[in-house]
Structure 1
Amino acid sequence: MRMKKRWLHVTLATAMMLSPFLAWSSGKVHAEEGNRNAWSSSPPFSMPSSLSTQPANVVSGKVWVKYKDQARNGSSVGMFAAVDSDSFVEMPLVAGENVISAVERYKRDPAVAAAEPEYLLQYADPAVMEMPGHVTNGSGSPTVTSSIYRPNDPYYVNGSQWGLSVTEMTYAWERVPERSSIRIAIVDSGVNPNHPDLAESLEAGYNALDEGQPPVDDSGHGTMVAGIAAAVTNNGIGIAGAAGGARIVPVKVGKKDASNKDYIPSSAVAQGIRWAADNKVDVINISLGMPQNSQMIKEAVDYALARNVVIVAAAGNESNHWLFGEPADFPTREDNSYRKFAWTVYPARYEGVVSVGSVSRLANNALTISDFSNIGKITTVAQGTGVYSTALSGGYASGAGTSYSSPMVAGLAALLKTQNKNLSSQDVHHILLDSSQKLDVPPIAGYYLGTYYSPKYQDYYGGGLMNGKRAFTMPRLRMTAVPEPDGRQANVTVKALDDKGNLLRNLSSEISVTVNHEDRYKQNKTVSLVNGEWSGPVELSVTDDVYDITIQANDVPGSGNEFIESGAARFSKLPDRPKASIGSGTYTAPQTVTLSTATPGARIYVTYDGENSYEYEGPLTIGSNTTFYAAAMKNGIWSETAEYVYTIQQAPAGGGGGGGSAGCCAGGGGG
């Protein structure tokens, strides 16, 4: 009976995988993207740490709060106009209180699910230069392509748009000649509605800053980004967009303030993402970023991903990979005396988002990491220096930054979605990662947060350079896995599909099916696809009371055939998360809290800041307002995280001491 109950979870987990390639998040994407937070040897605490001082990009006097009781969110004055019920509300500050203190005060309220400041994001472009009104020959290398599709856009013809030719985007254009059904949202500063290379592709869009007003660009950034993604192709003027002919949906989330500075509030970005998802765009491009994790933006991102919208975002430009005199040094960097690595910014850093870095072309036409391009959680890279696009003036400009790498990838993502409407956002993410072309790793090392660090390949490039041909021609492995009731094995079927989702019946090849027992060991089984498919049993050998197993199909190194890796089917029974002897709530005296887990032999870990944790060894004394998080671990497998929030108030005059539940004013179950 115990075994049957255990495998009920496994059966449900399998049944819930709706994507044709299954869920990818436990598989190759994590490893290839260099996700530092995926290290399973550390507790899985993912909440943002508390801020002790107010960062420069925090708006004074503004705090957003999300209550656990949705009715309270809806009844609050100044409700954030979220599209679904997960609403944040703007809440007041106490007289003389700063934003950080107010955020911490609201977080201590057991009724509050989340609280954060209004952050300001920034555009991910360090430099833009307006181009002359005419186009000259020789400003780039000749376009090299074997394609019969030859656009007549001048900047493409003269080789200035080398980022499209080296990534073989002409092949993708041939595969998807009809692109008018594609809709790409540009979450940015708006778009110039009168630009001749954009006007016929523009939709009405949305203005998240001034609702009811058109999303007209006042900075030029959004117009540049829109052109790279989808400027009209083969119209004899200007540039070719990566998905030329696609519909451009401008979503204005940034503007110039009274001091002519860029103003891009996090609440507008979140609202813009939700609006785009509700209006059924195929792809969202976000060439914006900031170093902080915003729960409001994270929930908006998850909202869009759950609706199969592909989100592509810029990794950011805070690194300094190259020094003076080195071939790829970017000349405008102020401090160029030492190498510095900056980590991928948010929202590109969120799981499920296609994070795009930048490469530059050297004099010998070799490609390498751009001087400024952030590293860490990267999916793929694209041209990010000398990028030509549509300018606010109605002409054209050249820019640099991951801002301009991202929309190239967004264009390719849109073409993939158009070719196969059944692809989920996870599928597109996986295809972009696995089809990327490998690049040489620069032999450099430097500092990250004061620590000397030698980046790995995936830190720089993720899968590598985006490639339009490989994205459409590499066979895609689709896998289903159904466990046997006794847990000893799973019945697995793997099929190789083409870019339209058809079975490749003429394909026979060896592939590998990998069974990964999380943090313990892997088993690889080499099998043979015959007429495009294989079916058979795979050993699971579940014997423990906790387990976390993934099964995934991929190519066999050295076999001569490359495949887009399947998603990972995950079967798990995690440790029970820790329970506190006294629930979250408000108390009138210090409390002693004991933690326990129902999983025998599991160890409990506690953190107060989401970063520094220690193993729990005995009761916790709560003498002041306290929030802590706890997780249990057994055999290298982590439970879900439990959160407990305690407010300690002085007892009223003549009141009782308030030990345990007797002194509880508003107790409640934690976690």
Structure 2
Amino acid sequence: MRTLSLLTPKFLRAARFCVIFAFLLSTSIEVGFTQHRPDFVPGRVLVKFRPEVSPVQVQSIVAAAGARIAGQIPRIGVLVLQLPPNASEVAYARAFRQRRDVVFAELDHILPLAFTPNDPLYAPSSGRGWHLAKISAPNAWDTTLGSNRVIVAVLDTGVDGAHPDLAPNLVPGWNIYNNNADTSDVHGHGTAVAGTVAAVINNGIGIASVAGGCRIMPIRISDPNGYASYTTIANGLIWAADRGARVANVSYRCSNSSTVATAAQYFQSKNGVVVVAAGNESTFDATADNPYVLTVSATNSSDSLTSWSNTGNNIDLAAPGSGIYTTLRGGTYGSKSGTSFSAPVVAGVAALVISVNPNLTGGQVQDVLKRSADDLGAASWDPQYGWGRVNAARAVSMALSLNQMGDTTPPSVSFSSPTNGATVSGTITVQVNASDNVGVAAVSLYLNGALLSTKTAAPYTFSLDTTRFANGSYTLRAVAADAAGNTASAQISLSIYNTADTTPPTIRITSPMNGARVNGTVSVAVATSDDRGVVRVELYVNGRLTATSTSAPFTTQWNASKAPRGAHTLQCKAYDAAGNVGISQSITVYK
């Protein structure tokens, strides 16, 4: 190829590009600090220009940057650029990527074979490492095993500091419970949690973990029996945040604590991510979502929710939590189950995300984990799986792409209606304005912290039925996110005031029929209606409360086998949320 002369009037535009390069080279910083990430060919960048850019223009742009075209990949138009000596490959790739006449620019990475840890107890086929395969951790490990500059604080019962699969990854922690430096494990729970998140990987012994290249900061928050308080959890979060931890795992059910939420908000202000367990009581938690923590439910090897995992409005993500093979006190290993072990799986993935893109904020890491999850259950968010089961490989890939995109500008978001301080009733329309320098990916609407709805395209208009909520003061918050994970929020206060509900439900027994003969278990079916909804139906047999149903179709049952022979009177009552009572007709049945 011919070499064109530079810095002539014909190439002033190219010269300006050279000035931009000089600035970037003088200020460039290698983004990310991942250990074990694949290397790249030094002095080389791969660039593809847009088809409308002529070869002469391409040559002048490349020459103005001080590089030269060393080759071309045939049929796809990708140029292999040779950079000047001692040039920063990252800065060159970033500068080319920012040009409008470039389709893409990237480093020429040297990729190893798919990584398989040499830890002898890592064997997905045996069931011991099933959870790592399920979340695509091996694919994530092709990029990073985790950076030793990323610290995960394990707020628990302490950690066995002599365990050979944990000791090399430990950094100094603190005993919040006794206010001293003794972080030894008084129960065993903390050692198992620590091994799940960051046991040493590829060291030829024991197990593999999600983020085995990261560090563990043991924070003991419990008494000798394993019980922890909101106070010790909050103090542990603050202690860890002030000492550089980027991820905190709290395998306790604490997402509905205001004290913990406030401490988690502080941890997030330090660009950290807090992960907590949903709990193992098979119950539904109706409290509002806590935006400062990731609350994790548990799945099994079939990607189904475990029978014992809690669900609720506060669930953000799901992760494997059944039969997790991990470290135990005394240098041994064993299997553990519970949301106590699904939470550190998510904490480990958060650590991998930060390892490849340490410039992400805590909120951005949360967004990456949610948007990269495998959506299970109902489409989008649901109270069982949250935004889905965590996917390590997709999360790491997304974090890397955000690193390359270089978009750090958050969207703008505001409310058009209702106005701040408005009093509303009935069904109202909420209009949110959102814009971004690249593009808005989604806008989510929250009422007192509980997610109401998410829109992924303009107009960002939401319908809100205020009759579902009690009269009182509320905070309405809109959160806008762009594709790079940048977020912004706006909030207003409003008062909900609806007229009192004084209309009782209507209810009618539809089965059995009046005069019917019955025996054994009798199902009593009803037809109900109410202007705001029935919440409970009660069955009365001979005037005594016998059964209750709290979900449609409100069928109740009566065991007639123990009743004496003869006539029996059945009647049902229906209740609405305001406490109004509707009473059905009485029917007589015979045994």
What TM-score results when the alignment is normalised by the length of structure 2?
0.53
- Cα deviations across residues 468-495 of structure 1 (Å, max 9, x unaligned)? 12113346587644589x9999783343
Paired residue for 2:245, among 262, 268, 281? 281
- Cα deviations across residues 586-609 of structure 1 (Å, max 9, x unaligned)? xxxxxxxxxxxxxxxx7669xxxx
**Structure 1 residue 473 corresponds to structure 2 residue 390:** no
- Greater relative contact order (Cα 8 A, min sep 6): structure 1 or 2? 1
Q: Select between 295-304 and 310-319 the one with higher mean Cα deviation.
A: 295-304
**Structure 1 residue 433 corresponds to structure 2 residue 370:** yes
How much has 1:427 moved relative to structure 2? 0.7
Distance 1:553 1:174 in 2: 28
Aligned to 1:406: 343
**Structure 1 residue 186 corresponds to structure 2 residue 154:** yes
Change (3 A) 1:171 1:344: farther
Aligned to 2:305: 369
Aligned to 1:156: 122
Paired residue for 1:567, among 473, 480, 487? 487
Change (3 A) 1:209 1:520: closer
Distance 2:489 2:134 in 1: 35
**Structure 1 residue 238 corresponds to structure 2 residue 238:** no
Distance 1:440 1:491 in 2: 29
Aligned to 2:354: 417
Change (3 A) 1:199 1:573: closer
- Cα deviations across residues 536-560 of structure 1 (Å, max 9, x unaligned)? xx899xxxxx997857467xxxxxx
Distance 2:166 2:500 in 1: 55
Change (3 A) 1:263 1:614: farther
Distance 1:547 1:273 in 2: 26
Please tell me whether Structure 1 or Structure 2 has the larger radius of gyration of its CA atoms.
Answer: 2
Distance 1:520 1:458 in 2: 11
**Structure 1 residue 351 corresponds to structure 2 residue 291:** yes
- Cα deviations across residues 357-398 of structure 1 (Å, max 9, x unaligned)? 10012xxxx321011111012111111111100001210011
Aligned to 2:385: 461
How much has 1:212 moved relative to structure 2? 2.3
- Cα deviations across residues 613-651 of structure 1 (Å, max 9, x unaligned)? 989xxxxxxxxxxxxxxxxxxxxxxxxxxxxxxxxxxxx
**Structure 1 residue 265 corresponds to structure 2 residue 229:** yes
**Structure 1 residue 392 corresponds to structure 2 residue 329:** yes
Contact preservation (8 Å) 2:145, 2:211: no
- Cα deviations across residues 306-329 of structure 1 (Å, max 9, x unaligned)? 22211011111000xxxxxxxxxx
Is the partner of 1:285 in helix, strand or coil?
strand
Is the partner of 1:222 in helix, strand or coil?
helix
Q: Per residue, is there more strand in 1 or in 2? A: 2
Is the partner of 2:153 in helix, strand or coil?
strand
Contact preservation (8 Å) 2:145, 2:352: no
How much has 1:524 moved relative to structure 2? 7.1
Contact preservation (8 Å) 1:435, 1:467: yes
Distance 2:349 2:306 in 1: 21
Distance 1:300 1:200 in 2: 29
Counting only pairs closer than 5 Å after superposition, residues 527-546 of structure 1 correspond to structure 2 as: none
Aligned to 2:470: none
How much has 1:516 moved relative to structure 2? 7.5
Contact preservation (8 Å) 1:480, 1:492: no
Aligned to 2:134: 166
Contact preservation (8 Å) 2:146, 2:211: no
How much has 1:457 moved relative to structure 2? 6.2
Aligned to 2:259: 296
Change (3 A) 1:483 1:467: closer
How much has 1:419 moved relative to structure 2? 1.3
Contact preservation (8 Å) 2:272, 2:362: yes
Is the partner of 1:351 in helix, strand or coil?
coil
Aligned to 1:13: none
How much has 1:190 moved relative to structure 2? 0.3
Is the partner of 1:460 in helix, strand or coil?
coil
Is the partner of 1:289 in helix, strand or coil?
coil
Aligned to 2:180: 212
Paired residue for 2:284, among 324, 330, 342? 342
Distance 2:492 2:497 in 1: 17
Distance 1:191 1:483 in 2: 44
Change (3 A) 1:549 1:464: closer
How much has 1:218 moved relative to structure 2? 1.5
Change (3 A) 1:516 1:466: closer
Unaligned segments of structure 1, at least 5 residues: 1-145, 320-340, 442-454, 497-510, 527-537, 541-545, 555-562, 576-601, 606-612, 616-671
- Cα deviations across residues 319-360 of structure 1 (Å, max 9, x unaligned)? 0xxxxxxxxxxxxxxxxxxxxx33289xx9532201111001
Is the partner of 1:211 in helix, strand or coil?
coil
The one-letter amino acid of 1:342's match is: F
Distance 1:342 1:521 in 2: 20
Aligned to 1:492: 435
- Cα deviations across residues 216-275 of structure 1 (Å, max 9, x unaligned)? 00111000000010000011111111100211100001132xxxx433233222211111
How much has 1:284 moved relative to structure 2? 0.3
Counting only pairs closer than 5 Å after superposition, residues 485-524 of structure 1 correspond to structure 2 as: 492-495=435-438
Is the partner of 2:436 in helix, strand or coil?
strand
How much has 1:564 moved relative to structure 2? 7.0
Distance 1:434 1:390 in 2: 30
How much has 1:303 moved relative to structure 2? 1.8
Distance 2:278 2:222 in 1: 18
Aligned to 1:560: none
Contact preservation (8 Å) 1:168, 1:468: yes
- Cα deviations across residues 414-464 of structure 1 (Å, max 9, x unaligned)? 1111211221111111111111112246xxxxxxxxxxxxx9961110111
How much has 1:569 moved relative to structure 2? 4.6
The one-letter amino acid of 1:153's match is: D
Is the partner of 1:404 in helix, strand or coil?
helix
How much has 1:399 moved relative to structure 2? 0.7
What percent of counterpart residues are identical?
31
- Cα deviations across residues 513-540 of structure 1 (Å, max 9, x unaligned)? 76979999998757xxxxxxxxxxx899
Distance 1:539 1:403 in 2: 37
Change (3 A) 1:369 1:229: same
Distance 1:522 1:433 in 2: 13
Q: How many residues align?
A: 353
Change (3 A) 1:375 1:478: farther
Change (3 A) 1:226 1:147: farther
Contact preservation (8 Å) 1:315, 1:344: no
Change (3 A) 1:371 1:208: same
Change (3 A) 1:614 1:287: farther
Distance 2:240 2:227 in 1: 20
Contact preservation (8 Å) 2:372, 2:390: yes
Measured on the aligned residues, the alpha-carbon RMSD in Å equals 4.0
Contact preservation (8 Å) 2:477, 2:492: no
How much has 1:197 moved relative to structure 2? 0.4
Aligned to 1:646: none
Distance 1:419 1:397 in 2: 30
The one-letter amino acid of 1:567's match is: T
**Structure 1 residue 225 corresponds to structure 2 residue 189:** no
Distance 1:371 1:358 in 2: 9
Change (3 A) 1:552 1:388: same
Distance 1:151 1:410 in 2: 20
Unaligned segments of structure 2, at least 5 residues: 1-111, 418-430, 462-473, 502-591
Distance 1:513 1:217 in 2: 43
Distance 1:520 1:234 in 2: 44
- Cα deviations across residues 65-108 of structure 1 (Å, max 9, x unaligned)? xxxxxxxxxxxxxxxxxxxxxxxxxxxxxxxxxxxxxxxxxxxx
Counting only pairs closer than 5 Å after superposition, residues 546-557 of structure 1 correspond to structure 2 as: 550=478, 552=480
